[in-house]
Structures are given as C-alpha cells and as structure tokens.
Amino acid sequence: MAISCPLEGRFDMTIDAKGRLFFPAKQREKLAGTTLHVTQGLDGCLFAYTDPQWEAFKQKISELPISKNRKSMRYLMGNSCEASLDAQGRITVAPKLREFAQLKKDITLVGLLDRMEIWDTDLWNEMNDSLTSDDIAAMLEELNF
C-alpha cells in the first residue's frame, strides 16, 4: 500500500543562511514529530520523504536486483540526510544538499503523492513556466487520461 505525503500542493517558504528551512504553521502541524529524509532529487530539486515513505521506498528499491538498483541507491541513499523539525518548525538542510539544489533564500515546497520536493523558487518558476498546455496534454495522454 502506498503511503501518501502529509502535504499536498505548493508552499512558499524561506531558508536562512544556516540552512534552516522554515515551514508555515499549518504545514508544521501536519509534520509535527516527523523525521524527514532529504536527498538529491531530479531536475535540480531535493526529495523529502517521511519515515514511512522512506521505509517504503527502501523496501521497493531493495527488491530490485543490484544490477538495476546500484546507481539509484548510490544517488538517492548515498546523498540522504535526516532532518527533524525543531521547536520553531524548521529543518536544517545539509550544506551539500543546499548546494546541489542551489537553495538561496526563497524556497518552494511541493507536496506530491509519495514525497515532497524542495526547490529554489527561481528554478521552480523557470521549470514550471517552461511547460506548455501541449506538454501537459501529452503527459496526461501517456498516463491514459
């Protein structure tokens, strides 16, 4: 059974010079007591998984033969860091991950089906603005919608 993400939608946030990512109050409530596993994602963002999502992901990837999972395991698990919300509702993003995703100040968090993506807002806007309605229609068609 798939474990859904506690957040859905897009949230604009900030990250400070120490790499602390501030969650809005309503999202903080949904993530209270949660440990996040943050790792390099695709397209220049970071992926963040809750404990149950991370365990489900690890289980799924471990079922593949090593000939098929070794590169993805190195990329995703070898670059992962745990992050827990502090009393102010922040997580600290590791410097190597901040550098990878070019996180400066303005951050966009996107809640998806099984994970959250953490984007530099400028990169998120650039990626989002590059999509046309024809691109989206083609993607939906591939999914048989």
pLDDT digits (tens, 9 = 90+) for 81-118: 999 888 888 899 999 999 999 999 999 999 888 899 99
The full set of domain ranges for the chain reads 9-142
Other CB atoms within a 10 A radius of the CB of residue 93 amount to: 25
Cα–Cα distance, 128 to 134 (Å, whole number): 13
pTM of the model: 0.87
SS3 85: coil
Nearest to 77 by CA among 47, 102, 108, 52: 47
Kindly state the tokens that stand for 18: 């120490």
**Does 136 score more than 90 pLDDT?**
no
pLDDT tens-digit map of 13-59: 999 999 999 887 777 877 877 889 999 999 999 999 988 889 988 88
Q: What is the pLDDT of residue 83?
A: 92
Give domain 9-142's CATH architecture: 3-Layer(aba) Sandwich (3.40)
Kindly state the tokens that stand for 20: 């602390």
* Amino acid at the residue 62: S
